Structure formats: C-alpha cells, structure tokens
Amino acid sequence: MELILSLGIGIMTGSGVWLILRPRTYQVIIGLSLLSYAVNLFIFGVGGLKVNAPAILTDGVPVSAYTDPVPQALVLTAIVIGFATTALFLVVLLASRGLTGTDHVDGREQSQ
C-alpha cells in the first residue's frame, strides 16, 4: 500500500509540476489541482498508513489500534481552502481570457 500511495503522489506531483510550467492558463489550473491532490494524499500519509482503523477514541481499545486523527483534520481544511482558492483562480482565468482574448498566461501569444 505504501508503494501505491507514494507512486500515486509522485505521478500526480510530476504531472502537476509539468502542467503548471505550461503556457496555457487551463493547463496551469489543472496542474495546480493535481498538485493539491498530491499534497492532500501526502498529508494523509504522514500520520502513518492504517487500514480499517478508527480515529475516534473509545474505552478499552489500545491506542495503537487508532489512526492519527490530526492529518485527517488537516487534510479536510486543506481541501476546503484549496477548493476555494482554485475556484477564485478560475474566475481570474476567465477574466483574463475575456480581457486579453487569449488563454496564454502572459496575456499575449509568444510568437507575435
């Protein structure tokens, strides 16, 4: 499971970094989304991977049977904030497209 998770994070980060370096705004926003998925998985992973382990304490169960609840709380916050800022970026992207008439990140085509 560790291998699959790390491969998943790696592939998404790699694709994300490649995409945010591309010149089209749409590629940049997809790249940022992929990167934020990768980061969210990464945060999830730092608490240690456990299957079928609850995060909420109940009496009489040893502490080692739980998964770490803090990364889950962090990931939730990160998702919400990432979602909001990506939505805002999308609006700016559309405004830029409307004002410049191109989807190049610099607002003008390179060749001209």
Partner 1 sequence: MNLAHHLIVAPILIPLVTGAALLLFDERQRTLKAMIGLASSLLIFAVAVALFRFADRIDGPEAARQGVYLLGNWAAPFGIVLVVDRLSALMLVLTATLAVPALIFAMARWHTAGAHFHSLFQFLLMGLNGAFLTGDLFNLFVFFEVMLAASYGLLLHGSGLQRVKAGLHYIAVNLAAALLFLIGVSLIYGVTGTLNMADLAERVATVGAEQRMLLEAGAGILGVAFLIKAGMWPLNFWLPPAYTAASAPVAGIFAIMSKVGIYVILRLTLLVFGEGTPSSGFGLHILLIGGLATITFGAIGVLASQALGRLAGFSVLVSSGTMLTAIGMSSGGITTGALFYLVSSTLTISAFFMLIELVERGQDAGASVLAVTMEAYGDADADDEEEEGGGGFAMPGTMAMLGICFAACGILLAGLPPLSGFVAKFAMLSAMLNPAGGDSAAPVPAYIWFVVFLIILSGLSALIAMTRTGIRTFWASMEGTAPRVLVIEMAPVLLLLFATMLLTVQAGPVMRYMDATTEALGATHHYVDAVTGARRVGAPGQEVQP
Segments of 1-112 assigned E as strands: none
Please report, for residues 42, 56, 112, the alpha-carbon distance to residue 28 in angstroms, rounded to integers and kept in the order given.
21, 38, 22
What part of residues 27-86 is at the interface with partner 1 (CB under 8 A)? 28, 32, 35-36, 39, 42-43, 46-47, 70-71, 74, 77-78, 81-82, 84-86
Q: Using the rule CB under 8 A, is 6 a contact of partner 1?
A: no
- Which residue type sits at 48? G
Quick check: 21 binds partner 1 (CB under 8 A)? no
Q: How far is CA 83 from CA 7, 13, 30, 38, 79, in A?
A: 24, 17, 12, 14, 6
Q: Find the binder of partner 1 among 51, 106, 111, 112 (CB under 8 A).
A: 106
Q: Return d(Cα 14, Cα 38) in angstroms, integer.
A: 10
Give min distance, CB of 71 to partner 1, in A. Answer: 7
Q: Give the footprint of partner 1 on this chain (CB under 8 A).
A: 20, 25, 28, 32, 35-36, 39, 42-43, 46-47, 70-71, 74, 77-78, 81-82, 84-86, 88-89, 92-93, 95-96, 99-100, 105-107
